[in-house]
C-alpha cells in the first residue's frame, strides 16, 4: 500500500483563533482519483459539503500534486483546477525542480487523511514523526483566502518567517507574522520591507523546514500547538525540507530558491554612509577623517543628497556636481577604495525630466485601472513606478543605467524604497500638472481617504495584520494594473526582487566578468541570488542593537547571508557608549556599514575617541578574519550556508542555545559576545561544551553549556575561537586591497584530543570566471597537513605564521622533511611560529619539533 494511501482518521483539534474570522464550520475537501506519477502522485479534490464563502468564494474543484523533488525535499501543491488563481512566474522567482526520486528514496513521506469534521488532511513525516500535519483542520481554499493549519508541539522552537524585527526564536504561543512588504522604520514585530514564508523548526536536536511559495499578502499565526497560514489568494504551494541539521535545511531551501550570489571581496570591508551630507566636499572630508583616525574605510556611500531634486540619475549642480563626483571616485580608486550610490525606483512624473519622458514614450510605468499612468508620491514629488512586467522596461532601465554609469562608473548600487514605497495612498498625482512638487504629507494635515470596502482588492474580506488603514497605504495601490494585466494586489511582494534581478542582469551585461554589488531593501524568496540586504531604518536604541542580531540571523535562514544593520542606528541620536558597543557588534555583521539620518547628529565612528578606539580594535579583528569570512561566504555560494549563525545551529542539543540571540557565530568557529546593555562593563556569555580560546590573549574558557561572565571594558568586544578549528587570517589593513597583499597566517586552536581542521577558499575576489583554490588544513599529533582540494588559483602570498593554541613547547619546524628557520614565541600553553615562508599551492606536511 502506498505511503500516501488515503486513511480514515477521526480527529478534530481546535486552533486558537487569532483573527476576526470564522472558518471552523467549513467542510474542507475530499480526495479522489489518486494517480501515481513518476515521482509522486496527484489527486482530485472536491468540496466535502456546502461552500463556506466566508472570506471569498470557495473554489469547488482543486488539484493536489505531490512530488518527491529530491531525497530531502518534498513538494506539495494544491491549486485550483482551472488555474485561474495567480501563481508566481518562473521568470520572476525561478525554482529548482529537482531531479525527482522515488518515494522509497526520500527522507520524507506523505500520507493523506480524512476526518469529520475537517475533511482532507495531509501528514508530512520524517521517519515516524509528522513534521507537518493538517489532520482535523479544514482546508479553506477561496479566491481571496486560503487557510491551512498544521499541528506543532506545544512550546515549539520555530525560527524564520519575516521580515519583522523580533527576537530570533518566535513566540510559539503568540506570534502573528504578516508578509506584506512595507516601508516602515523597523517597528517591533510588524511587517517591514521583505516577505519570506520559510521557517525551520528544531525538535529533539534535529531541524526541518517548510516554505510556502506565494506572493500574496498573508498572516502566519503561531498559537499554542499550531501554525496557521492565512493567505489572500494564489495557491497552497508548499515545499518541505528534511534537514536534519540547520545547515542542511538552509542548504535545501537555497537549492530551491537560488544560492546566494558571489560578491566582490571588497564588499566585506567597512562602509560609511549617512543621509544628510551637504556636499561632495563634506564626503571628501569624511573619507579623509577615517584615514587620519586610522580606521579602515572600504567604501564611501552617498544617499539621495547627491541628486538634483532627489531625482534618479541626476546630480545636484551646486552641492554634488558631476565633475566633483568624478574626481572623488578617481581619488577613491587611487586609494583602492570604492563608491556606492543610492537609486530609487520612483521616477518624477515631469515631462521635462528625460528618464520620465523616455519611459513614458516606451510605456514602461505601472497603470491605473483606466489605463492612465499610476502616479504616487516619493522624494522628488509626484512619481511614476517602473513596471517590471512591461515589455520595454528592460531596454528603458538599461538605457538609464548606462547613461548614469557611463558618466560615473560607481562600484556598487543601493536599491532603496523598492517595496515600492509611496508617501500617499492611491494615485494621488494623477491629473496633476507635470513637474508639480507637493509638500511631504507628514508635514501637513491630510485626512485618510474613505476606505472603499466594496472593492475586494482594496479591502479584502480577510484583513491581514498590516498596521495601516489599508494595504495600499505607503505603497502602490492594489488596484493598479501591470503590463501583464495582473493587479498589484497579487504581485506587490515581488516588486523589490524584480527590480534587483533586472538591475543585476544589466550590470552583468555591462561588465560580463565582474561581480556586481547590489544592496536591496525589499526582498523576497530567492533575493539572495541577486542582491545583499540591510535591515532598514532602525533606531539608535539599545533594544535595536540587540534585535539587530536576530535580524541578521533571520536573513541567514532566508538565504541572504550578506546582511547587516545600520551601525549606531539610523533614526534618532546615538550616544558615545551605544555607538561604541554597536561598532563592536557591527564589525562582525557580514555587511558592515555605519549609516544615519539627516535629522540626527553625525555618528561617523571617528567622532568620539572611545568609539574610534572601539572601532579600530573590532575592525582589526574583522579585517584579520576576512580570509576566513570570505571562505564562509563561499560556503554560502556553494551550499547556501549562513555566514552569521546562531549558537543553536551549531549546538542544537544545548538547551540554553535554543533562544540565544545575544551572541552570534561567524561560520562554525568564531563566537562574538557583545555588550548589549547600557553601562555594562562585563557580559554573560554562553559557552557550549568544549574549549574556547580568547582571540586576544589566547586564554582558554572551558565551556560547560553554561554562561560565563567576561570582562568587557568599553572599547573591548569578546571574541573566541572554537577549539578544533583552524582559522586562516591575514594582517589587518586599511583596505581589502592592502590586506590581500599581505602574507597568510593560520590560527590552530586544538581541542581536547589535540586536533583541529579548517579550510581556505581563494580567488581574485573580483571576476566571475576567476580560477579558485580550495585548501584543507588538518592538524594532529604536532603535524599539520595543507592539502589543495580543487582549483588552480596561484596563491600569491605565502604562509608566514602559525599560532598554535593549546600547543606548548614547540622548538622548531620541519616542512616536507626539511628543517626551516623560524622565530619561536612560547607563551603559557600556546606557541607562535613566525618568519615562515611556506607556499600554499602544493601539498605540504609541517612537523613541529
Secondary structure (DSSP) of 290-317: HHHTT----EEEE-GGGSSTT-TT---T
Q: Which three cell numbers stand for residue 220?
A: 502566519
Strand partners, 711: 682
Catalytic residue among 255, 344, 411, 537: 537
Give the Å distances, CA to CA, from 633 to 373, 378, 670. 42, 35, 14
Residue with cell 529530491: 70
Backbone phi, psi, residue 64, to 5°: -105, 125
In our burial notation (b when 16+ CB lie closer than 10 A, e otherwise), range 152-177 reads: beeebbbbbbbbbbbebbbebeebbb
Q: E strand or H helix at 701, and its extent?
A: strand 700-703
Whether the per-residue pLDDT at 284 is higher than 60: the answer is: yes
* Poorest-pLDDT segment among 1-5, 177-181, 246-250: 1-5
Residue with cell 539572495: 528
Q: What is the DSSP pairing of strand 299-302 with strand 270-272? A: parallel
Mean of the pLDDT values across residues 26-37?
Answer: 96
pLDDT for 25 equals: 83
Distance CA 734, CA 595 (A): 19
Residue of 369, 367, 391 whose CA lies nearest to 502: 391
Q: Is the dihedral of CA 355, 359, 364, 366 positive or negative?
A: positive
Q: Is the dihedral of CA 582, 587, 591, 596 positive or negative?
A: positive
Mean of the pLDDT values across residues 722-744?
Answer: 98
Whether the per-residue pLDDT at 9 is higher than 50: the answer is: no
Strand partners, 175: 222
pLDDT tier, 370 (very low <50, low <70, confident <90, very high otherwise): very high
pLDDT for 508 equals: 98
> In this predicted model, what pLDDT tens digit does every residue of 655-677 receive, in sequence order?
999 999 999 999 999 999 999 99
Distance CA 541, CA 187 (A): 12
Cα end-to-end distance, the chain, whole Å: 65
Whether the per-residue pLDDT at 222 is higher than 90: the answer is: yes
Q: What is the dihedral of CA 280, 283, 285, 291, to 10 degrees?
A: -140
CB-based burial label for 463 (10 Å; 0-12, 13-18, 19+): middle
pLDDT tier, 444 (very low <50, low <70, confident <90, very high otherwise): confident
CATH number attached to the domain at 26-85+96-257: 2.60.40.1760
> In this predicted model, what pLDDT tens digit does every residue of 82-113 receive, in sequence order?
999 999 999 999 999 999 999 999 999 999 99
Three-class secondary structure of residue 747 per DSSP: strand
pLDDT for 20 equals: 40
Whether the per-residue pLDDT at 10 is higher than 70: the answer is: no
The reply to whether 312 belongs to the active site is no
pLDDT for 21 equals: 53
Q: Which three cell numbers stand for residue 647?
A: 549558537
Distance CA 756, CA 807 (A): 11
Distance CA 515, CA 261 (A): 9
Whether the per-residue pLDDT at 15 is higher than 60: the answer is: no
Q: Which three cell numbers stand for residue 772?
A: 579558485
Whether the per-residue pLDDT at 16 is higher than 80: the answer is: no
Three-class secondary structure of residue 413 per DSSP: strand
> In this predicted model, what pLDDT tens digit does every residue of 34-72 receive, in sequence order?
999 999 999 999 999 999 999 999 999 999 999 999 999
pLDDT for 445 equals: 77
Mean of the pLDDT values across residues 755-777?
Answer: 97
In our burial notation (b when 16+ CB lie closer than 10 A, e otherwise), range 183-211 reads: bbebeebbbbbbbbbbbbbbbeebbbbbb
pLDDT for 777 equals: 98
pLDDT for 12 equals: 26
pLDDT for 224 equals: 82
Whether the per-residue pLDDT at 374 is higher than 90: the answer is: yes
Catalytic residue among 416, 554, 566, 604: 416
The reply to whether 537 belongs to the active site is yes
Q: What percent of the chain has pLDDT over 90?
A: 95
Q: What is the dihedral of CA 476, 478, 480, 486, to 10 degrees?
A: 120
pLDDT for 17 equals: 37
> In this predicted model, what pLDDT tens digit does every residue of 485-538 receive, in sequence order?
999 999 999 999 999 999 999 999 999 999 999 999 999 999 999 999 999 999
Distance CA 56, CA 385 (A): 30
Round the average pLDDT of the chain to a whole number and report it: 95
pLDDT tier, 14 (very low <50, low <70, confident <90, very high otherwise): very low
Mean of the pLDDT values across residues 18-38?
Answer: 82
Mean of the pLDDT values across residues 421-446?
Answer: 91
Q: Which three cell numbers stand for residue 282?
A: 563634506
Q: E strand or H helix at 580, and its extent?
A: helix 576-586
pLDDT tier, 805 (very low <50, low <70, confident <90, very high otherwise): very high
CB-based burial label for 442 (10 Å; 0-12, 13-18, 19+): exposed
Q: Three-state SS string across 318-366, please?
A: CCCCHHHHHHHHHHHHHCCCEEEEEECCCEECCCCCHHHHHHHHHCCEC
Mean of the pLDDT values across residues 549-574?
Answer: 98
Three-class secondary structure of residue 510 per DSSP: helix
Distance CA 29, CA 60 (A): 8
Enter the pTM of the model.
0.96
pLDDT tier, 11 (very low <50, low <70, confident <90, very high otherwise): very low
Domain ranges, ordered by start, for the chain: 26-85+96-257
Distance CA 835, CA 822 (A): 5
Q: Is the dihedral of CA 706, 711, 713, 716 positive or negative?
A: negative
Residue of 355, 340, 335, 329 whose CA lies nearest to 303: 340
Distance CA 471, CA 467 (A): 8
pLDDT tier, 22 (very low <50, low <70, confident <90, very high otherwise): low
Mean of the pLDDT values across residues 577-590?
Answer: 99
Mean of the pLDDT values across residues 358-377?
Answer: 98
Residue of 107, 19, 38 whose CA lies nearest to 71: 107
Distance CA 631, CA 759 (A): 7
Catalytic residue among 58, 147, 419, 763: 419
Whether the per-residue pLDDT at 546 is higher than 80: the answer is: yes
Amino acid at each position: 500500500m502506498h505511503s500516501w494511501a488515503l486513511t480514515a482518521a477521526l480527529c478534530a483539534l481546535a486552533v486558537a483563533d487569532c483573527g476576526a474570522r470564522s472558518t471552523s464550520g467549513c467542510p474542507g475537501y475530499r480526495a479522489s482519483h489518486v494517480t501515481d506519477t513518476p515521482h509522486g502522485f496527484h489527486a482530485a479534490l472536491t468540496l466535502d459539503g456546502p461552500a463556506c464563502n466566508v472570506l471569498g468564494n470557495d473554489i469547488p474543484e482543486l488539484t493536489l500534486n505531490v512530488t518527491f523533488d529530491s531525497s530531502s525535499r518534498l513538494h506539495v501543491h494544491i491549486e485550483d483546477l482551472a488555474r485561474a488563481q495567480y501563481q508566481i512566474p518562473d521568470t520572476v522567482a525561478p525554482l529548482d525542480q529537482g531531479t525527482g526520486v522515488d518515494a522509497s528514496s526520500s527522507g520524507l513521506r506523505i500520507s493523506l487523511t480524512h476526518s469529520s469534521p475537517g475533511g482532507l488532511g495531509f501528514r508530512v513525516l520524517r521517519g515516524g514523526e509528522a513534521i507537518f500535519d493538517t489532520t482535523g483542520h479544514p482546508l479553506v481554499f477561496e479566491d481571496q483566502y486560503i487557510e491551512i493549519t498544521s499541528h506543532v508541539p506545544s512550546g515549539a522552537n520555530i525560527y524564520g518567517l519575516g521580515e519583522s524585527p523580533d527576537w530570533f526564536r518566535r513566540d510559539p504561543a503568540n506570534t502573528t507574522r504578516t508578509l506584506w512588504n512595507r516601508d516602515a522604520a523597523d517597528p517591533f514585530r510588524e511587517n517591514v520591507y521583505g516577505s519570506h514564508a520559510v521557517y525551520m523548526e528544531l525538535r529533539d536536536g534535529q531541524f526541518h523546514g517548510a516554505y510556502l511559495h506565494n506572493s500574496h499578502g498573508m498572516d502566519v499565526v503561531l498559537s499554542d500547538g499550531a501554525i496557521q497560514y492565512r493567505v489572500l489568494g494564489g495557491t497552497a504551494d508548499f515545499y518541505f525540507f528534511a534537514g536534519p541539521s540547520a545547515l542542511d535545511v538552509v542548504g535545501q531551501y537555497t537549492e530551491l530558491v537560488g544560492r546566494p550570489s558571489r560578491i566582490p571581496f571588497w564588499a566585506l570591508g567597512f562602509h560609511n554612509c549617512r543621509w544628510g551630507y551637504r556636499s561632495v566636499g563634506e564626503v571628501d572630508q569624511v573619507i579623509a577623517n577615517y584615514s587620519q583616525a586610522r580606521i579602515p574605510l572600504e567604501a564611501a556611500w552617498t544617499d539621495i543628497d547627491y541628486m538634483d531634486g532627489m531625482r534618479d540619475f541626476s546630480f545636484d549642480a551646486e552641492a554634488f556636481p558631476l565633475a566633483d563626483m568624478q574626481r572623488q571616485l578617481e581619488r577613491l580608486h587611487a586609494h583602492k577604495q570604492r563608491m556606492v550610490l543610492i537609486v530609487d525606483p520612483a521616477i518624477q512624473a515631469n515631462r521635462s525630466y528625460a528618464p520620465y519622458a523616455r519611459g513614458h514614450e516606451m510605456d514602461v510605468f505601472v497603470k491605473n485601472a483606466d489605463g492612465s499612468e499610476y502616479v504616487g508620491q516619493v522624494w522628488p514629488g509626484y512619481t511614476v513606478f517602473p513596471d517590471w512586467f512591461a515589455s520595454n522596461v528592460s531596454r528603458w532601465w538599461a538605457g538609464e543605467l548606462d547613461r548614469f554609469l557611463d558618466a560615473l562608473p560607481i562600484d556598487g548600487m543601493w536599491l532603496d524604497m523598492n517595496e515600492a514605497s509611496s508617501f500617499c495612498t492611491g494615485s494621488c498625482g494623477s491629473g496633476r500638472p507635470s513637474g508639480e512638487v507637493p509638500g511631504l504629507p507628514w508635514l501637513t494635515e491630510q485626512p485618510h481617504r474613505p476606505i472603499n470596502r466594496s472593492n475586494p482588492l482594496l479591502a479584502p474580506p480577510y484583513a491581514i495584520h498590516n498596521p495601516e488603514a489599508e494595504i495600499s497605504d505607503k505603497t502602490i495601490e492594489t488596484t493598479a494594473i501591470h503590463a501583464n494585466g495582473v493587479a498589484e494586489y497579487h504581485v506587490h511582494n515581488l516588486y523589490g526582487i524584480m527590480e534587483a534581478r533586472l538591475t543585476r542582469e544589466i550590470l552583468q551585461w555591462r561588465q560580463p566578468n565582474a561581480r556586481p554589488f547590489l544592496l536591496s531593501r525589499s526582498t523576497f524568496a530567492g533575493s539572495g541570488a541577486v542582491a545583499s540586504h540591510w535591515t532598514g531604518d532602525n533606531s539608535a536604541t539599545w533594544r535595536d542593537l540587540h534585535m539587530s542580531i536576530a535580524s541578521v540571523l533571520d536573513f541567514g535562514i532566508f538565504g541572504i547571508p550578506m546582511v547587516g544593520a545600520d551601525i549606531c542606528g539610523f533614526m534618532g541620536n546615538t550616544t558615545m557608549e551605544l555607538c561604541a558597543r554597536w561598532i563592536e557588534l557591527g564589525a562582525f555583521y557580514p555587511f558592515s556599514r555605519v549609516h544615519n539620518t539627516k535629522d540626527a547628529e553625525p555618528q561617523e565612528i571617528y567622532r568620539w575617541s572611545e568609539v574610534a578606539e572601539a572601532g579600530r580594535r573590532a575592525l582589526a579583528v574583522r579585517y584579520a578574519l576576512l580570509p576566513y569570512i570570505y571562505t564562509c561566504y563561499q560556503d554560502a555560494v556553494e551550499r547556501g550556508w549562513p555566514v552569521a549563525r546562531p549558537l543553536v545551529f551549531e549546538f542544537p542539543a544545548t538547551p540554553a542555545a535554543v533562544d540565544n540571540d545575544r551572541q552570534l557565530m561567524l561560520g562554525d568557529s568564531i563566537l562574538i559576545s557583545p555588550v548589549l546593555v547600557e553601562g555594562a562593563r562585563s557580559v554573560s556569555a554562553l559557552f557550549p561544551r568544549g574549549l574556547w580560546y580568547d582571540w586576544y590573549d589566547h586564554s582558554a574558557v572551558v565551556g560547560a553549556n553554561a554562561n560565563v561572565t567576561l570582562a568587557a571594558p568599553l572599547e573591548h568586544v569578546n571574541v573566541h575561537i572554537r577549539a578544533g578549528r583552524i582559522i586562516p587570517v591575514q594582517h589587518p589593513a586599511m583596505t581589502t586591497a592592502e590586506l590581500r597583499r599581505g602574507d597568510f597566517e593560520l590560527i590552530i586552536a586544538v581541542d581536547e584530543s589535540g586536533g583541529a581542521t579548517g579550510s581556505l577558499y581563494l580567488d581574485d575576489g573580483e571576476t566571475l570566471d576567476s580560477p579558485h583554490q580550495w585548501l584543507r588544513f588538518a592538524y594532529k599529533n604536532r603535524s599539520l597537513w595543507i592539502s589543495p582540494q580543487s582549483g588552480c588559483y596561484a596563491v600569491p602570498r605565502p604562509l608566514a605564521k602559525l599560532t598554535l593554541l593549546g600547543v606548548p613547547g614547540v622548538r622548531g619546524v620541519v616542512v616536507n622533511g626539511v628543517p626551516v628557520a623560524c622565530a619561536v614565541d612560547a607563551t603559557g600553553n600556546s606557541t607562535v611560529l613566525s618568519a615562515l615562508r611556506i607556499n600554499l599551492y602544493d601539498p605540504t606536511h609541517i612537523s613541529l619539533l
